[in-house]
Amino acid sequence: MLDGIRFVGAELVRASLCDPDGGCLSVRKDETMFFTGRGPRLDCLDDAAVKKLPAEVTTPEFTNNEELALHRFIYTNAECGAVIQCNRSSAITVSRDLEIKFMDVPGGASETPPFRVGIFENVCDFINSSDNLKASGAVILRGDKALAWGRDLSECLNILKLLEKASSCGYKAA
């Protein structure tokens, strides 16, 4: 599990999808969540950087963490096994000027099917529209961050790469 987390963290930085210290990722396995949080360098994660938490955390020390709260919200509302949050991508930059709420991104080679991306002004708008969450594989919070979720970290990484490619080609409004 930790080797996969390390590999994807390094790949996010290598692919310029995330600054080394600006994103986070998590994997949910049964009743446990492995969570990097924001701060540790994603390109050189060690065992101490990956927190092993109960999947349903309710203590104040964890509920006040916005990244953890976003990941838990996605796990609660979407059927997925992993979430990646990144802070730097063309999709985030381009989203500042878009007036659409959703866009469709064609799937890629292998197992990544086409997916729908929600584009929201902020975290509150995203949370208030959770009805659309299950149909999406990613969300962009305008000018701030992008999140992707999928069966595993590999699928999340593919979704973010496809989102990046779509942003360089132009968006198709849904």
Q: Give the chain's domains with CATH numbers.
A: 2-169 (3.40.225.10)
Rounded to the nearest angstrom, the gap between the alpha carbon of residue 68 and the centroid of all alpha carbons in its chain is 11
| 3-class secondary structure per residue, 31-43 | CEEEECCCCCCHH
* Count, residues in the chain: 174
Rounded to the nearest angstrom, the gap between the alpha carbon of residue 18 and the centroid of all alpha carbons in its chain is 11
Q: What angle do CA 104, 5, 43 make, to 5 degrees?
A: 95
Read off the pTM: 0.84
Q: How many CB atoms lie within 10 A of CB 147?
A: 28
Instruction: Give the C-alpha separation, 155 to 84, whole Å.
Output: 10
Q: Tell me what pLDDT residue 172 has.
A: 45
Q: What angle do CA 127, 26, 30 make, to 5 degrees?
A: 95
What is the layout of strands, in order, in the sheet containing 136-141?
51-54, 32-35, 24-29, 82-86, 145-150, 136-141, 115-120, 102-105
Token match 């986070």: residue?
24
Return per-residue pLDDT of the chain as tens, 174 residues: 889 999 999 999 998 888 888 789 999 998 899 999 877 789 889 888 899 888 775 555 555 678 888 888 888 888 889 999 987 665 666 655 555 566 667 666 556 667 777 778 778 888 887 666 665 588 888 777 888 999 899 989 988 888 877 776 654 444
Q: What angle do CA 92, 94, 96 make, to 5 degrees?
A: 80
Nearest to 174 by CA among 95, 98, 102: 102
For 137, list phi and psi in degrees, rounded to 5: -115, -5
Helices (H) and strands (E) in the chain, counts: 6, 8
